[in-house]
Structure formats: C-alpha cells, structure tokens
C-alpha cells in the first residue's frame, strides 16, 4: 500500500481532519509514490491551538534545556542522514550526493548553530548618564508561522524551525506540498528527541488551503516565509493590516560577473552557479556577464563543460543533474527557452528534454542544461525568474555597464563577482543591489551572516543574530537611578 504522510500536531502524527490526501510525485520517474494530507483551515486551527498551549511552558524552559533538545534533534537527523538524503532525493529529483553531502548536513548545522547561539546571546544596556539604566529584554513572540518551498526542503525548513523554537517560540510549519517527506521524518525525530508536544507542529497541504489560513491566523503574530515573489506579495497583503512581524525571502535573478582577469576557477564555479540543483536554487546565477575580451573563449568553455554534466537517476551517485521538481516547472522552463528564441537568443546547448535517460526515469521531468547568447540584460528572459537550468551569457565592456545591467532587474538577492583586482571587487560589490555579494566564490555561507534580499527578493534578514532578533520581541525597561 502507498505510504501516507501525516500532519504533526501536538506531538502526534495525524491525518487531515477532512480525510483528504494529495498525491506526491517522484520527479525522476513521474510516478505517484506517496500521499500527503490535504489540510485546510481546520487543521491549521488545531495546530495553532496546540502551539498556543505549548507556548507558556516552552518559552519559560531554560535556554540550556531548549539547547539540549535541539542538539538531540541535530544528532538524530545526523544518525539517520542516509534515510533523510534518500527521502529528499526521491521527493525532489535532486542528486543524492547533493542531498547527502550538502543539504541534510546543513539541516543538522541549522539546529546546532541556533542551539548554541542562544547560550551566548546577550542584550543591550544603556546608562543615561547617572539618571537611568535602560536594558532590553528579548522575549519570544508566541506562535510562529513558518512556510517553506520545495527547492531545498529540509535545509530551508530547519533554517526557520531552529531559530524559532530555540528562542522559545512555538511553531506551526507548512512545508511545500511538493516535497513533504523530510518534514515528515523530522516530526518523528522531534518526538524521539523529547521536544514537548505542541512546540513544533507541521501541517501539510497546498499554499491556498493550508498556508493562507496560517498567515491570516489572529493568534500567529510572526510569519517567516521563503518562496516566490508572487506568493510573498500575497502574504504581505494579508499580514500588513494585521501588523504581523514578517520576514519574506523571495525570488532572484542573480548575476555572475566575470572580469577578464578572473581566476580560471571562475569557469567551473559559474557552471555550478547556473545549474546546481537543476538551476532551482534561489541563489543560482542565471545571468552571466562576461568581459568582452574573454567572452568568446569563456562561452566556448562554458558550453563544453555544461554538455559534460551527467544527467541521470538522482539516486545514482554519479549523477550531477537530476530531474526538475514537477511537470509544471519543466513546462515553465520550456516556455522561457521558447521565449529566448523568440527574443532573438541563440541556444548553444540544451534547449530540449534529454533523450537518453535510464529506463526508470523515462517519464521523469528532465530538461537539459541550457546556455543562451545573443540576448541583452533587458529582455524578459534576463529580467524574469525562470528557476530552471537556463543561463544567458552577456558580454560587457566596462564596470558601469555591467553594474547597470546587473542591477536592472526587480530582484536583488545575490551576485557573484570574479576578478583578481581587489579594488574592483570592493567597488563592484559596493554598487550591486544584492543582499549577498560573493567575490571569487559562490554559495559560501557562514551561518552568522545576515541573509536576505533587496527589492523584490525580500523583506528583512535572517541568519545569525538577525534571526535571533527577528524571532524575539524587544522590550526596553527604563529604571530611574537618581
């Protein structure tokens, strides 16, 4: 019988109250392999209620004890790393090496990072000459609503859960309905680790039926969301009149900028930035600006390297490119490649579904990594987020031109700059409208740094001290001393 995933409410694994399920598809085979509760506002209500009841106890639990439980959760995820990685790959189509070596270990780190951060946190005190002392209390906000996407399922869900519950909030999480499996495994781990019932609740289901009632719920004062900009806008519209605290991590259209003096390692890194996770990382560099002096040579090598990426069964450790997450995501990619052609672009490689795939993957949602030239920075393909394996290479002549091109989209999530000239690196980094600028690297993350986007890529920052601040409410106490 097909596996059925449950919600995690008040420490119990339960079905949706209406008894309905959604099919869960394996992207690599295109086959339904499990079912996920089609929860609605009734389930959200039940989960919020459990979280409210758990809040007084958990928020007053000493930091050391909260830390101990989070460390235990981290240990148990780590102990079961193979199971988590296998589940993530089946659920999302991503290569198993990526799940095993990067994403599940990062989920473990998220818990450890915030479990230890709360032991070293301090708050400010200001002496007003001799007249008064002002100190700041930082208290958890209450029930946090945590909504995450499908592209890095456990990695991004735990990036929210860990700081939310470490700081003493209780939480209702809504993972993507396309990739629910590792959240389901996490529920069992939380029980085993001794997390008190109701501290973390997980409600599965679609964005409209389960996510929207969570964002609108009067007893949920704080929402952390990662996903698309259109969804983020709708959440902003719901939450603004309710004056909720909101963090929105949204889409991107990130530039990679390669100057003529770049280290040769820029080539491999640029290919990785374009196509890792089949181009489905919000930080992927899909607009590649290359200084004209090296443009033709760089393009040739980029294409040659892209053609060598091994497509295959994501469960195979040799596979570098797995399947896209859904048929819809592949169709969107195909439409943008057609648009690229219509806008006058030349497709140098990819541009089609691959023909030779293992038997098991014949009906999977595959698309060959695609490189396009001949389009300027202002055409739609270079302005809109595709979120698939499509990269455009664009030549540039000087710094002003490339900065203007890089900043020309409504997004501002991240950028990657490749040069050996340190002055140029600083100056370009300073001028780019991006939440993160990597210089001579990509996706190198220190969990202490603020993370988020500018413009339509985000509102607010998470990570390190920013996350501890976001998930707590500051209160100033002023004591007259004279």
Residues near ligand NAD (CB under 6 A) are 147-151, 156, 174, 176-177, 206-208, 211-212, 215, 226-228, 231, 234-235, 249-252, 282, 385, 387, 413, 453, 457-458
CB atoms under 10 Å from CB of 57, counted, come to 13
Least CB distance to ligand NAD at residue 186 (A)? 15
CA distances from 211 to 83, 424, 446 (A): 27, 44, 30
Q: By beta-carbon distance, which residue lies closest to ligand NAD?
A: 207
**Minimal distance, residue 22 CB to ligand NAD, in Å:** 11
**153-166 and 63-79 helices, crossing angle to 10°:** 160
CA atoms within 13 A on the CB side of 465: 4
Residue closer to ligand NAD by CB (options 67, 215) is: 215
> Least Å distance between CB 250 and ligand NAD?
5
Q: Which residues sit opposite 160 in a β-bridge?
A: none
> Which CB, 21 or 58, lies closer to ligand NAD?
21
With 0-12 CB in 10 A as exposed, 13-18 as middle and 19+ as buried, what is 299? middle
Q: Is 361 a catalytic residue?
A: no
- Tokens describing residue 74: 């981290």
The pair of structure tokens assigned to 278 is: 């089949």
d(CA 299, CA 95): 26
Cβ of residue 452: shortest distance to ligand NAD, in angstroms? 7
Please, which residue, 115 or 413, has the CB nearer to ligand NAD? 413
CB of residue 129 to ligand NAD, shortest distance in Å? 44
d(CA 121, CA 460): 20
Report residue 399: phi and psi, to 5°: -65, -45
Query: Which residue, 139 or 233, is less far from ligand NAD as judged by CB?
Result: 233
Could you tell me the smallest distance in angstroms from the CB atom of residue 255 to ligand NAD?
15
Give the C-alpha separation, 283 to 414, whole Å: 6
Q: Which is nearer to ligand NAD, 152 or 402 (CB)?
A: 152
* Catalytic choice (282, 284, 361, 379): 282
Of 248 and 403, the one with the shorter C-beta distance to ligand NAD is 248
Q: Is residue 249 among the annotated active site residues?
A: yes
In the structure, how many helices (H) and strands (E) does the chain have? 15, 23
Residue 432: CB atoms within 10 Å: 23
Q: How far apart are CA 255 and CA 421, in angstroms?
A: 19
Q: How many CA atoms lie within 13 A of 303 on its CB side?
A: 17
Find the shortest distance in angstroms from Cβ 387 to ligand NAD. 5
Residue among 240 and 268 whose Cβ is closer to ligand NAD:
240
Closest CA to 183 of 101, 88, 97: 88
CA 372 to CA 374: how far, in whole Å?
A: 7
Q: What is the closest distance, in whole angstroms, from the C-beta atom of residue 457 to ligand NAD in the complex? A: 6
CB closer to ligand NAD, 147 vs 394: 147
Q: Least distance to ligand NAD from the beta carbon of 216, Å?
A: 8
Active-site residue, selected from the candidate residues 88, 177, 249, 385: 249
Helix 81-92 vs helix 104-117: crossing angle, to nearest 10: 120
Nearer to ligand NAD, 228 or 354 (CB): 228
Query: What is the rounded distance in angstroms from the CA atom of residue 176 to the CA atom of residue 155?
Result: 12
Rounded to a whole number of angstroms, the CA Rg of the chain reads 23
In angstroms, rounded to a whole number, what is the distance separating the alpha carbons of residues 286 and 323?
Answer: 18
Distance CA 273, CA 51 (A): 39
- What is the chain's length? 482
* 367-to-251, 304, 328, 338 alpha-carbon distances in Å: 21, 17, 12, 13
User: Which residues are marked as active site?
Assistant: 249, 282
């Amino acid at each position: 019988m097909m596996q059925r995933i449950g919600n995690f409410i008040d420490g119990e694994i339960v079905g949706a109250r209406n008894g309905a399920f959604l099919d869960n598809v394996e992207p690599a085979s295109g086959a339904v392999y499990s079912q996920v509760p089609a929860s609605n506002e009734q389930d959200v209500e039940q989960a919020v209620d459990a979280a409210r009841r758990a809040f007084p106890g958990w928020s007053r639990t000493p930091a050391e004890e909260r830390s101990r439980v989070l460390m235990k959760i981290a240990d148990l995820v780590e102990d079961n790393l193979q199971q988590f990685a296998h589940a993530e790959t089946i659920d999302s189509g991503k290569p198993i090496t990526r799940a095993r070596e990067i994403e599940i270990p990062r989920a473990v780190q998220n818990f450890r990072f915030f479990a230890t951060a709360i032991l070293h946190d301090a708050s400010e005190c200001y002496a007003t000459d001799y007249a008064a002392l002002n100190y700041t209390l930082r208290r958890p906000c209450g029930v946090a609503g945590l909504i995450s996407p499908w592209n890095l399922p456990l990695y991004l869900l735990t990036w929210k859960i860990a700081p939310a519950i470490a700081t003493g909030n209780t939480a209702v999480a809504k993972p993507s309905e396309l990739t629910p499996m590792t959240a389901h495994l996490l529920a069992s781990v939380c029980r085993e680790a001794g997390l008190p019932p109701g501290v973390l609740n997980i409600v599965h289901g679609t964005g409209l039926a389960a996510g929207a009632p969570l964002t609108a719920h009067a007893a949920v004062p704080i929402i952390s969301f990662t996903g698309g900009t259109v969804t983020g806008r709708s959440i902003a519209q719901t939450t603004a009149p309710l004056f909720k605290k909101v963090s929105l991590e949204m889409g991107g259209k990130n530039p990679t900028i390669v100057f003529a003096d770049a280290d040769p390692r820029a080539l491999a890194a640029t290919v990785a930035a374009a196509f890792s996770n089949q181009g489905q990382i919000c930080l992927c560099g899909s607009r590649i600006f290359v200084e004209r002096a090296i443009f033709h040579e760089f393009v040739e090598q980029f294409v040659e390297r892209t053609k060598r990426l091994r497509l295959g069964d994501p469960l195979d450790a040799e596979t570098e490119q797995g399947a896209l997450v859904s048929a819809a995501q592949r169709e969107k990619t195909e439409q943008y490649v057609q648009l690229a052609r219509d806008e006058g672009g030349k497709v140098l490689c990819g541009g089609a579904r691959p023909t030779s795939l293992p038997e098991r993957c014949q009906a999977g949602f595959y698309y060959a990594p695609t490189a396009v030239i001949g389009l300027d920075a202002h055409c739609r393909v270079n302005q809109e987020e595709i979120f698939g394996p499509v990269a455009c290479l664009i030549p540039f002549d000087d710094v002003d031109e490339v900065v203007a091109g890089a900043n020309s989209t409504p997004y501002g999530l991240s950028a990657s700059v490749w040069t050996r000239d340190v002055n140029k690196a600083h100056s370009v980094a300073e001028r780019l409208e991006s939440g993160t600028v990597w210089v001579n690297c990509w996706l190198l993350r220190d969990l202490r740094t603020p993370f988020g986007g500018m413009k339509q890529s985000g509102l607010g920052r998470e990570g390190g001290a920013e996350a501890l601040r976001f998930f707590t409410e500051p209160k100033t106490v002023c004591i007259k001393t004279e």
